[in-house]
Structure 1
């Protein structure tokens, strides 16, 4: 009886799994790495151009072209730095903004519902509250991208504690941004009813594209085959999800 080799693919399996892990890790780190590489290339080109300008006896036309190149590289580097800062801040405060937006939208909907049956002074107070909630919603949606996000609901506000001391620097900055948001709404630079725009964006994200429907209908096989089900190419939205699961349920029931 010939000898039997045990686990012939053990080493290959470990090597393939490690390679897949490295590829997955590299895939997640690729956007930031590309951004860093782009900035490093700009900095290197800028240093090279400045060294050329520092040389003596440089021709006039070469000096003029190099000076123009230095200005263009400086502008590109500044834009890259701003874009990188915006990206880092967006990732850092993504979760905070999401929860605060949900809270503001819930308060806004409750106020709109209470306004339907309110009268007199109560109605005036609810209208003022509705305006404040809309300012807060625009605050979350249109906060300056290059500034560190200042929470609408800091710990002292969430706990319900009221401090008798003078407002700190953070509170002052929050009020300044809220005032700027309110002025932009009055100038119609920001939507007066941001909840409507938010609902429209949510419906647009949920609605499948006509080209996707056409492609799925054309690619659907005539005979039912469990091994060749059409894949669902509609990506789920991170915030609102995807409720269009009727086609998948019908396929599962048919099978």
Structure 2
């Protein structure tokens, strides 16, 4: 046997040829860069706030430096509040995502069923009744979509109502719809209905009421809190001065 054949490895040890599925001349797709987490560390922000406050407690700090550091402190406190609000919002979205999904399916089903019945309606009385129900069903659907993401989601449908609607048909199903419409709606339902009229549903979902954003509300609360602390500190100081007189 020739030496070159004798030295060849067994067939099962030979490496198989690589078959590239891409067409000739087709470039290898670039790997998508992973998105970096640009969120700020809450602990880091708290540390910065402590450092600035420690610096402001120095009596020998120049006046111009004090003004600068007070601005820096306000910026850090605002950034901390915004970051905590952002994380709370993300947690609310994650927590209630599945509930909102199920209720959105239910609301869509109810609306589509009413729209089909509206096409089949003959009498004016029935058309008026269905028009009222369709409006309510549209608000229900928008409620599940545009309920403020940063707030705790309040369920629109009572427990087990979806199963009952699926099982009952005809007159029984109509009675269930009547009962559902007579039930007390969550407080946010009326807010969603008003937002539909004003065309501000997305602002409602994102936490913007009119022209006032979450950041502005947070800043207002922060100022009120700081003012209250200053008043308490001033009152305590006056009480202490009166004690030593």
Name the TM-score class by shorter chain: 0.5 to 0.7
What displacement does 1:71 show?
A: 0.6
Matched residue, 2:177: none
What displacement does 1:188 show?
A: 2.3
The residue matched to 2:41 in structure 1 has which SS? helix
Contact 2:45 2:80 survives alignment (8 Å): yes
What displacement does 1:157 show?
A: 4.5
Q: Tell me how far apart the structure 2 counterparts of residues 86 and 190 of structure 1 sit (CA, whole Å).
A: 17
Q: Does 1:190 align with 2:210?
A: no
The residue matched to 2:186 in structure 1 has which SS? helix
Gaps in structure 2 of 5+ consecutive residues = 1-33, 165-182, 203-245
Matched residue, 2:118: 115
The structure-2 alpha-carbon separation of the partners of 1:108 and 1:158, relative to structure 1 and needing over 3 Å to count, comes to: closer
Contact 2:118 2:127 survives alignment (8 Å): yes
TM-score, normalised via structure 1 length: 0.54
Matched residue, 1:178: 189
Query: Which residue, out of 113, 127, 131, partners 1:127?
Result: 131
TM-score, normalised via structure 2 length: 0.56
Matched residue, 1:74: 77
Contact 2:156 2:186 survives alignment (8 Å): no
The residue matched to 2:201 in structure 1 has which SS? coil
Greater relative contact order structure (CA < 8 Å, 6+ sep): 2
Q: Tell me how far apart the structure 2 counterparts of residues 127 and 190 of structure 1 sit (CA, whole Å).
A: 21
Query: Which residue, out of 19, 28, 53, partners 2:56?
Result: 53
Matched residue, 1:140: 144
Matched residue, 1:93: 96
Q: Highest CA radius of gyration, 1 or 2?
A: 2
Q: Does 1:64 align with 2:75?
A: no
Matched residue, 2:22: none
Matched residue, 2:43: 40
The residue matched to 1:87 in structure 2 has which SS? helix
Q: Tell me how far apart the structure 2 counterparts of residues 111 and 156 of structure 1 sit (CA, whole Å).
A: 20
Summarize deviations over 1:128-171 as a string: whole Å, max 9, x none. 111111111111111112211111123265577xxxxxxxxxx9
What displacement does 1:190 show?
A: 3.1
Gaps in structure 1 of 5+ consecutive residues = 1-26, 161-170, 192-255
